[in-house]
Structure 1
Amino acid sequence: MGKIVALIPARAGSKSIPNKNCKTFFGKPLIHWSVLAAIKCRYIDKVFVSTDGRLIKDSLRSIKSKKLKIINRSPETATDEASTESAMLEFSKSTKFKIIVLIQSTSPHISYEDLTNAIKYYKDSDAISLVSVVRQKRFIWESKNDYIYPLNYEPSLRPRRQNFKGYLVENGAFYITSKSALENTKCRISGKTIKYEMSDKTYYEIDEEIDWIVNEAIMKNEIIKLGEKKFSIKLFATDVDGVLTDSGMYYSENGDESKKFNTRDGKGIEILRENKIKTAIITSENTKLVYQRGKKLKFDYIEQGINNKLEKVKEICKTEGIGLHQVAFIGDDVNDTELLKEVGFSGVPSDAHAINIQIAEYVCKSKGGHGCVREFIELITNQLSN
């Protein structure tokens, strides 16, 4: 099939929502949602972000991935009047590829699973282009002169919603086509075109302030659904530095080391205990400070000096008679990655390593040492109390 690349155009000059690509949307800059989904898709060989914005470039540099490349977007293709196709064609002239996946930075609900499934579907077909769509069940009318006329149904045979197939709408999430088709037609869609149908939540792109509000409501609902799946959590495990603390190392004049913990996180551990959920500290460090803090908060397990956190949690699971799917874990750095991938519910602080932000089920709004543990805990316990 040849090289497959993703192109994400991102202009700096957003008028309705200034700097919207860099505005934080549930713990990440808006553009990060689509970039990280593309990076995680196994079929995409390289992810290019074409931008004229310094803030966008600075934001993306926090994503440590060899698949990501930030390229300059010319002033001519970054005006209010310039089309997305102009940026695509500019990119195509300077880059070798076979297939291009155009991804919009304004679609935060895009997932790597959707990209993976769509690209596989496209590769297995004889189509020239693919369009992501959402099915809408609305009755459409057209205005002609002083009257309106139905386009997709007969009023005298008005169908029930469950029997109505509806119609397909571009949701703007992504488009797939070949380099040759793009250059020959100068359009993102041409020739035989197939669809990839996505969920209703992907219908709304973020272009206006109202779109931001709607998408926030959708994401909150998704988080609630995520929380509802966590009734079976029996063990809560946490890293220390960068999670329970702010990663800072503080020293007195006498050279004594200290760490800064957050009292709100401490209350969260108490809430877990009230809900009969076991608690564990899993850290590679080995200090009296951590032991003392763990004892004060009455952690069931205080495991220090642990190089293989996944194996240690497996041991605890065996002791407790539970499985990894019944474990919630919050960590921040690369030594937490393996465990984050395996547990039933994974979370990270907002300032965690980029790799972990990609794989975690929940990215906290709070930073490490600033209440992220309490935030993650409440996502679990609020569902238990409902």
Structure 2
Amino acid sequence: MKKYIALIPARGGSKSIPLKNIKKIAGKPLIYWTIEAAINCSKIEKVYLSTDSEKIIDVARNIKNEKIVIVNRSPETATDTASTESVMLEFANFHDFENIILIQATSPLLTSKDLEEAIMTFENYEADSLLSVVEQKRFIWNKSSDHFVKPLNYDPLNRPRRQDFKGYLVENGAFYITSKKLLQETKCRISGNIAYYKMPEETYYEIDELADWEIIEKLLLSRNKVNKDLKSKLKNVKLFITDVDGVMTDCGMYYSENGDELKKFNTRDGMGIQLLREKGIKTAIVTKEKTKIVEARANKLKVDEVYQGIVDKLSIFEELREKYSLEYSEIVYIGDDINDIPVLEKAGVSFCPNDAVDEVKNVSDYILSRKGGEGVIREVVEILTMNI
């Protein structure tokens, strides 16, 4: 029995954008983006495209991969009023599998990395179901009458700063995971204890109207350009420098019962540092804070250079560049706050966490999908090792 299969419904009768599922976006038919993401996910054994359209079938057949299987969608489940659950249940009646991943073709920003990590989350938490979400920090209001509104998620008298506002999770419709057993019992795509997988905020958009199409196409083109630019920049990296708070940690302040300061590090970053060392890339930590915790963590990870209590990070950056006789293009830097900007602007390639301050995002070459403390270094290392 297959443990994980993916199901991608693709109806031919779209009204807002005729045959949108095979209309080209950023150079490829729309359905190609999600099919490729599913095919490239190592956990997914088969990818089923469910459609009622011969035109969609003809386009899908151009994808030459043994994982892809095209299945016919009945007329009853291909109407304007038919639910996606009806497609899933019809499919489940004729196929043997343990877990199903429903993927919406209208979310082309989905990646195989998203699917890999979501399945890992699903398994680690022993969840019954999982859905993809984005985090948003918007103040929501509800109509209290014809002319007046009331706030739903904040107090206007104590308006929080955006960086202090926890925000909320919004279903982005990219994908859902559940078991065949629960699907058939509840006739719903998610049920029981529902876990979530957080995707980058820009994946909030899914294609329903032409305006959505234009936004997502720009995002896809930008992502592809970034990938090409990064590949050329990352070929000669010899030194990897990172900040600590807000990069290796979540920027939180933790204290023991005795008042001792604590920091929470992500173990995946530790493996990332090890992978860099194995590639012969020197590593350095440059941080404004000065604590024994950072010293201990750096020693454990065998970081080559550790500078604490540094206000002028650019001077240390230049010192390291001269020490190792490097060009600017051979240095990577990760930072999250305004004191990192001078170094981010000098480094050959600059990265920042997804929750970095806006000023840092504006000067960074690449904004990561993870937030500080969530394995930021590991994400950068994965990008590096794919390109060197």
Give TM-score, length-normalised by structure 1.
Answer: 0.59
> Is the Cα contact below 8 Å between 2:2 and 2:96 reproduced in 1?
no
Q: Is contact 2:38–2:115 with CA below 8 Å preserved after alignment?
A: yes
Question: How do 1:222-371 and structure 2 match up within 5 A?
Answer: 222-230=223-231, 232=233
Distance 1:13 1:150, change over 3 A: same
Q: CA deviation at 1:27?
A: 2.0
Match of 2:63 in 1: 63
Using the TM superposition, give the Cα deviation of residue 201 of structure 1 relative to its aligned residue in structure 2, in angstroms: 2.1
Instruction: For 1:105-184, list aligned pairs within 5 A.
Output: 105-146=105-146, 147-184=148-185
- The yes-or-no answer on 1:38 pairing with 2:35 is no
Residue 157 of structure 1: how far off its partner (Å): 0.9
Separation in 2, partners of 1:195, 1:92: 23
Structure 1 residue ranges, 4+ long, deviating more than 6 angstroms after superposition? none
Secondary structure of the residue that 1:79 maps to in structure 2?
A: coil
Q: CA deviation at 1:166?
A: 1.0
Report deviation, 1:223. Answer: 3.2
C-alpha displacement at 1:227, in angstroms? 4.3
Measure, in 1, the Cα distance between the counterparts of 2:203 and 2:128: 23
Structure 1 residue matching 2:93: 3-state secondary structure? helix
Q: Distance in 1 between matches of 2:119 and 2:200?
A: 17
Q: Which AA in structure 2 matches 1:90? A: E
Contact 2:103 2:175 (8 Å CA) reproduced:
yes
Quick one: distance in 2 between partners of 1:230 and 1:88?
39
In the alignment, the residues of structure 2 paired with residue 40 and residue 231 of structure 1 have an alpha-carbon distance, to the nearest angstrom, of 23
Change (3 A) 1:181 1:233: closer
* Cα drift, residue 2 of structure 1: 5.5
Partner residue of 1:366? none
AA aligned to 1:113 is: K
Q: Is the 8 A contact 2:5 2:99 kept in 1?
A: yes
Please list the CA deviations of residues 15-39 of structure 1 after superposition, one character each: whole Å capped at 9, or x if unmatched.
1111111111122110010011101
Check the 8 A contact 2:6/2:44 in 1, yes or no: yes
Change (3 A) 1:52 1:2: closer
Q: Which ranges of structure 2 fall in alignment gaps of 5 or more residues?
A: 237-329, 331-388
Residue matched to 2:97: 97
Q: Deviations over 1:330-368 (max 9, x none)?
A: xxxxxxxxxxxxxxxxxxxxxxxxxxxxxxxxxxxxxxx
Name the counterpart of 2:8: 8
Deviation at 1:228, TM superposition (A): 3.8
Gaps of at least 5 residues in structure 1 are 236-325, 327-386
Q: Secondary structure in 1 aligned to 2:97?
A: coil
CA-to-aligned-CA distance 1:311-343 (integer Å, 9 cap, x gap)? xxxxxxxxxxxxxxx9xxxxxxxxxxxxxxxxx
Residue 64 of structure 1 deviates from its aligned partner by 1.0
Q: CA deviation at 1:230?
A: 4.7
The alignment status of 1:195 with 2:196, answered yes or no, reads yes
Deviation at 1:182? 0.6
| 3-state secondary structure, aligned to 1:205 | coil
Partner Cα separation in structure 2 for residue 57 and residue 230 of structure 1: 34
Whole-Å separation in 1 of the counterparts to 2:36 and 2:116: 13
- CA displacement, residues 229-248 of structure 1 (integer Å, 9 cap, x when unaligned): 2554889xxxxxxxxxxxxx
- Structure-1 separation of matches of 2:129 and 2:181: 11
CA shift in 2, pair 1:233/1:125, >3 Å: closer
TM-score (norm 2): 0.59
Cα drift, residue 192 of structure 1: 0.5
- Which one-letter code corresponds to 1:205 in the other structure? E
Q: Distance in 1 between matches of 2:122 and 2:235?
A: 42
For 1:209 and 1:143, locate their aligned partners in 2 and report how far apart those are by CA, in whole Å: 29
CA distance in structure 2 between the partners assigned to 1:222 and 1:4 by the alignment:
28
Superposition RMSD in Å: 2.0
What is the identity, as a one-letter code, of the residue corresponding to 1:216?
Answer: E
In structure 1, the partner of 2:218 is 217
Q: Please give the alpha-carbon distance, in whole angstroms, between the structure 1 residues aligned to 2:105 and 2:156.
A: 39
CA distance in 2, matches of 1:231, 1:37: 23
Are 1:75 and 2:75 counterparts? yes
Q: C-alpha separation between the residues in 1 aligned to 2:222 and 2:160?
A: 30
Mapped partners of 1:171, 1:75: distance in 2: 27
The separation in 1 between residues aligned to 2:221 and 2:179, in whole angstroms, is: 37
Q: SS of the counterpart of 1:8?
A: strand
Match of 1:345 in 2: none
Aligned length: 237
Instruction: Answer yes or no: is the 8 Å Cα contact 2:106–2:206 preserved in 1.
Output: yes
CA distance in 2 between counterparts of 1:233 and 1:142 reads 48
Residues of 1 paired with 2:2 and 2:225: CA distance? 41
Counterpart amino acid of residue 134 in structure 1: V
Q: 2 CA distance for matches of 1:231 and 1:44?
A: 31
